[in-house]
Every structure is written in C-alpha cells, then in structure tokens.
Homo-oligomer: A and B are copies of this chain.
Amino acid sequence: MAIEDRYKGIVEAARDVVARRGYHQASIREIARAASLSLAGLYHYVGGKDELLFLVLDRALDTLLGALDTALARARTPETKLLALIQTHLDFGFRHAADLKIINRDWELLEEPRRAEIAAKRGEYLQRGLALLRELDPRGRSGDELLSATNLLLGMLNGIATRPFLRSSDDARPLAGEVGALFLYGFLEPVEAHHDA
C-alpha cells in the first residue's frame, strides 16, 4: 500500500513540474526534488524520463475517459449526452488543469512505442465525440465532415478549459450549458427557449 502512495506522489510531482515548465524543460532533478527523493532514488522507481511522461499521460487519460463514460451512461438523449461530454471536459480542465495541459501539449514528445499507446487512448476519446455527433446529426454528414466537427468541438473546449478564465469547478455546469447551446444552435440564436433551472 505504501509503495503505491510513493508512485502516486512521483507521478503527481512529475505532472506538476512538466505542466509548469514543459516536458523538455522539466528536469528529472526538479521532479525528484518535488517528490522528496534524490535523483538516483527516483530512478529506483521509474526507468527514465520518457516513462515518467507516459505515467502522467496514462493516468490522466484514464481519469478523463472514466469520467466521460460515467457521465455518458447517466444521459439518455443525444443532446444530454453532448452536454455531459462538454461538462465533463470542462470540469476536467478546471479540476486537473495540469493534466489537460500535458495531454494537449506534451503527448507528442513521447517516444515509441509508448506514444502509440497514448495516441490510442486519445483516439478513443475522439471516437466518443464522433459517435455522439453522428447520433446528433440531422442531415447526413460524411465521416470527414463529422470528424471536422468533432475537432471543432474539442478545439472549442480546450480553448476555454486551458485558459484561466473561470476558477471554481462549479462553474463548469452553467458554462457547459452556454457552450452546448452555442455549438448546437449557433452564436446568432436569440436565446429565448430555456426551460430548466
């Protein structure tokens, strides 16, 4: 039990340092210091810098995918599923800003074959969005069009989730509603019909 806590502390230290300084600028010495270990002591637990980045990404993506799936399971209609995805993503961005930053910025720096493993998990996330938009699509958009729209949506979400706009994680709920309405009905929609609290 204790050694798993050790690992958790190491991964969290790596996450914080890498998020703040970027992968290549984050030195293993600084990560070791943040994890209250010596440089060589850290190497007792992990094989190298690349594995450190992998552990952070793997853990973060598992958290994100898990949160998304539980949120999607609760939703019935495609519209509420979309809202669930948006809210989950924004909530994750607010609560785990460091993780999201690394997911979006540093994952390409992984070496193969770990990079492929992370790419697969990122692809899984994209697939969730793609399948959702396919359900939602009123006309018969092509796969390419749906993929574009999915990237549009995720780009929107990362655009606000990354920047330090809103602070508390409770802000994700109303903000998700606004973002969802804008994505579904457009910027010009003159609001009116809102029927929930």
Q: Residues on A close to B: CB < 8 A?
A: 22, 24-25, 105, 109, 133, 136-139, 145, 147-149, 151-160, 163, 165, 175, 178-179, 182-191
Contact = CB atoms under 8 A, between A and B. Distances in A.
Given A184-B188, A188-B185, A160 B156 contact: no
7 contacts: A138-B189, A139-B190, A145-B178, A155-B156, A155-B159, A155-B160, A185-B188
Contacts of A160: 148, 151-152, 155
- Copies of the polypeptide in the assembly: 2
A186 B148 CA distance: 14
Contact of A186 (B147, B155, B165, B189): B189
Nearest to A105: B105
Contacts of A136: 187-188
A159 B156 CA distance: 8
Contacts of A22: 24, 109
A130 B190 CA distance: 18
A152 B109 contact: no
Nearest to A24: B24
Nearest to A25: B24
